[in-house]
């Protein structure tokens, strides 16, 4: 192999980016429209907890999603108009982002999903949820959707370590994630896992163990997040008490690249770094310099003459 020649073709990237994957599948630009269905979470409504995960702000994971006071169609239209200022042409994925978007009666959920699919130029759905929010009836609904549209189910794993999941008040253990993944994949539903690097108490070895675990899973997509601190979260108290420190950008970059190297080349990288609304972010400040973070990952891959899957076995 020639020096610096990547044995896979992903456009100008050394990893299997979502943008590349979607262009290959649909032949044009495809963008996500983040929606807020006004749902909740068993870790907030008292079923298993009331405060949510310690890093989760009151808006859930949808601080940048639509206005839950508005119906899905209105949210979609508002956000699409904003996107079209930058990308006038293209198709859309309706992304149910905020809270746990399978945590409701399946009949009600079906109405939400169908409303989103009915919007102009929508070619599919991405549904974010927890692994403990997938009862059989909901899985059957997802399976039916998978048969007739382009569908992703996104599930938060965050860490492979139960001690970490307990500390961040996740409300479920690692086995719950594995069981949910098995049930989704039995129906051939595309599944994207979310992991967080920089969680309280975790060493670099702990983070890499999470990376190694997801590399061995039957997932089709992966999102990397760096732990960040937002106003209104339980994590603020821990930070003020000095019980953890933010991960620096160089360490985060190294851990992401190390993980990319051991991932299957087929896994679609849907996100390489997290971000947050500036008015809510308390730190670290580097996460909102998103393009610099992404460039740093590209640069390290190039410096190593590496790519996604180089060390995958």
- Taking the C-alpha atoms of residue 19 and residue 29, their distance in angstroms, rounded to an integer, is 7
Q: What percent of the chain is predicted at pLDDT more than 90?
A: 79
Contacts of residue 135, Cβ cutoff 8 Å, sequence gap at least 6: none
pLDDT-based confidence at residue 1 (cuts at 50, 70, 90): very low
Give the DSSP per-residue string, 142-193: HHHHHHHSEEEEEEEEE-S-HHHHHHTT-SS-HHHHHHHHHHHHHTT-EEEE
Q: Give the model's pLDDT for residue 300.
A: 98
- 115-164 pLDDT, tens per residue? 999 999 999 999 999 999 999 999 999 999 999 999 999 999 999 999 99
| Distances 126 to 98, 154, 207 between C-alpha atoms, Å | 12, 7, 26
- Superfamily of 18-303 according to CATH: Aldolase class I (3.20.20.70)
What is the value of pTM for the model shown?
0.94
pLDDT of 97 strictly over 90: yes
- 31-67 pLDDT, tens per residue? 999 999 999 999 999 999 888 888 887 655 555 667 8
- 258-270 pLDDT, tens per residue? 999 999 999 999 9
């Amino acid at each position: 192999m020639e020096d610096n020649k990547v044995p896979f073709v992903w456009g100008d990237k050394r990893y299997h980016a979502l943008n590349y994957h979607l262009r290959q599948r649909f032949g044009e630009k495809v963008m996500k429209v983040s929606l807020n269905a006004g749902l909740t979470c068993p870790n907030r409504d008292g079923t298993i907890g009331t405060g949510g995960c310690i890093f989760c702000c009151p808006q859930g994971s949808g601080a940048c999603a639509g206005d839950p006071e508005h119906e899905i169609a209105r949210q979609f239209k508002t956000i699409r108009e904003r996107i079209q200022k930058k990308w006038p042409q293209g198709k859309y994925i309706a992304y149910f982002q905020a809270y746990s978007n399978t945590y409701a009666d399946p009949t009600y959920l079906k109405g939400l999903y169908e409303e989103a699919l009915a919007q102009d130029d929508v070619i599919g759905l991405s549904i974010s949820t927890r692994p403990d929010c997938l009862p059989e009836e909901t899985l059957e609904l997802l399976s039916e959707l998978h048969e007739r549209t382009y569908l992703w189910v996104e599930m938060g794993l965050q860490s492979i370590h139960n001690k970490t999941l307990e500390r961040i008040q996740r409300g479920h253990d690692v086995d719950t994630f594995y069981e949910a993944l098995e049930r989704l994949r039995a129906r051939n539903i595309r599944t994207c896992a979310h992991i967080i690097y920089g969680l309280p108490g975790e060493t670099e070895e702990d983070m890499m163990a999470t990376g190694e675990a997801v590399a061995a899973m039957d997932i089709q997509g992966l999102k990397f997040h760096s732990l960040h601190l937002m106003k209104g979260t339980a994590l603020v108290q821990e930070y003020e008490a000095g019980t953890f420190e933010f991960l620096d950008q160089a360490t985060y970059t190294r851990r992401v690249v190390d993980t990319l190297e051991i991932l299957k080349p087929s896994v679609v990288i849907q996100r390489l770094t997290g971000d947050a609304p500036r008015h809510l972010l308390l730190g670290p400040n580097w996460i909102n310099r998103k393009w610099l973070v992404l460039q740093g990952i590209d640069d390290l891959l190039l410096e190593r003459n590496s790519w996604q899957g180089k060390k995958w076995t």
